[in-house]
Structure 1
Amino acid sequence: MRITSERLRADARGNRDQILNAALDAFRDHGTDVPMKNIADRAGVGVGTLYRRFPDRDALIVGVSHAHLTRLAEMAAAARDEEPTAWAGLTRFLAECLELRLGALASAIEPTLHRAIKAHAALFEVRDRISEYVDEMITQARADGDLRADIAADDVKLLMTLQVHSGPGDPDPEAAARVLRIVLDGLRPQPNSAV
């Protein structure tokens, strides 16, 4: 009986993760008004399963937001802890944010997320953790002389949602990486500069 209940819990967690991942992709691609049936179809589950896990759209948005923010916090902590310098950690984290198309997701979720934060302490806590990790990297990169002194934490946090649009058939698939390099160059102290 124990094996069966553990298996059911694992299946339920798997369904929940599938739903959250599908919703994250759907929200990023189509906004938060995407039909719930489309999300269930993407997740490979029935609509009833989706509604058992998330009774309404707001619950799903909060669930997606928490999972997404938790992933960002883990990415920021890993970049901070694994890279040899704060600058390397910061640039890795910003590159990962761009790769995740964080800007597109933020455009879809942010208005709802701000309302949700007021009602859900778990979202507030995880956002604080992201801010703490990014602030630590910024402070250390400044102290190391790798980041301009006039760059504020809010400036870097805005760059987390950098979007680079390249249309279908774009001859330069490296456009996003090139734009990120240009942005990062702008964050570096200039030689013979008072800043």
Structure 2
Amino acid sequence: MTDTLQTCTTATAGCTRASAPRLRADATRNRERILAAARELFADEGADVPLDEIAKRAGVGNATLYRNFPDRTTLIHQVVLSVLTSVLERAKEALADEGDSFEAISRYVHAAADERIGALCSLLSEHLKLHEDEELLSTRTELEHVVEALLIRAKRAGRLRPDVGPGDLFVALARLTRPLPGKECLEDAMFIHRHLQLFLDGMRAPAPSVLPGRAATVEDLRRV
């Protein structure tokens, strides 16, 4: 009897150990679905979209959302961090590419556009204090350094016009990937990659014209 009880207990423990990874995987997938849904709705409708709507879009219950993100500010923070981290990874991949230096920049820009990075501007300015958030600040700073390295490499190769800076790239990317106001303008997403390519073609060397003013730096953006 004792042997039988021990066998059952061991089997139960085995089932518990086997189910634990599955539960953790489900929790991870739920969290990722919530972040993806929040990013889409924040970009399209703004940061004040009802959290219930985010949960519905993610296909999870309200309790699951609040278990992962206890309040709106926490969710916004994690969405911004998720997008910045993803964009940083795309920039690192572009820098590691030993092929055409300008095409590497182009791939990074289009990948950043797919992350809806332009929608971060309002989230950062209205709901988060970037200068007080070390995690967001360090991620953004690293992104700036990697993108600057991308541009320097392309200039040295003679593939990028010398009178542009990383600030020019960040401003254009933010403006061209930010949804226009009004429900009737949501379909502007179909033009984003087209207009980004027009902008990128204008950055190629040799330059067909002289730009007014000077190249924008990341320090210019921080002062703004």
Q: What is the TM-score normalised by the length of structure 1?
A: 0.85
Separation of aligned partners in 1, 2:99 and 2:124: 32
Paired letter, 1:58 = T
Separation of aligned partners in 1, 2:73 and 2:195: 35
Name the structure 2 match of 1:120.
133
Paired letter, 1:56 = D
Q: What is the TM-score normalised by the length of structure 2?
A: 0.74
Extract unaligned runs of 5+ from structure 2.
Answer: 1-15, 212-224
Taking the TM superposition and a 5 Å limit, the aligned residue runs for 1:42-121 are: 42-82=57-97, 84-103=99-118, 105-112=119-126, 115=129, 117-121=130-134
RMSD: 2.6
1:65 touches 1:113 (CA, 8 Å); kept in 2?
no
Taking the TM superposition and a 5 Å limit, the aligned residue runs for 1:20-39 are: 20-39=35-54
Separation of aligned partners in 2, 1:35 and 1:113: 15
Question: Cα distance, 1:51 vs. partner?
Answer: 0.7
**Identical counterparts, % of pairs:** 33
Q: How many residues align?
A: 190
Name the structure 2 match of 1:6.
21
Extract unaligned runs of 5+ from structure 1.
Answer: none
The one of the two structures with greater contact order (alpha-carbon pairs below 8 A, sep at least 6) is: 1
The structure that has the greater radius of gyration is 2
Question: Cα distance, 1:184 vs. partner?
Answer: 1.7
Paired letter, 2:18 = I
Between stretches 148-157 and 36-45, larger displacement belongs to 148-157
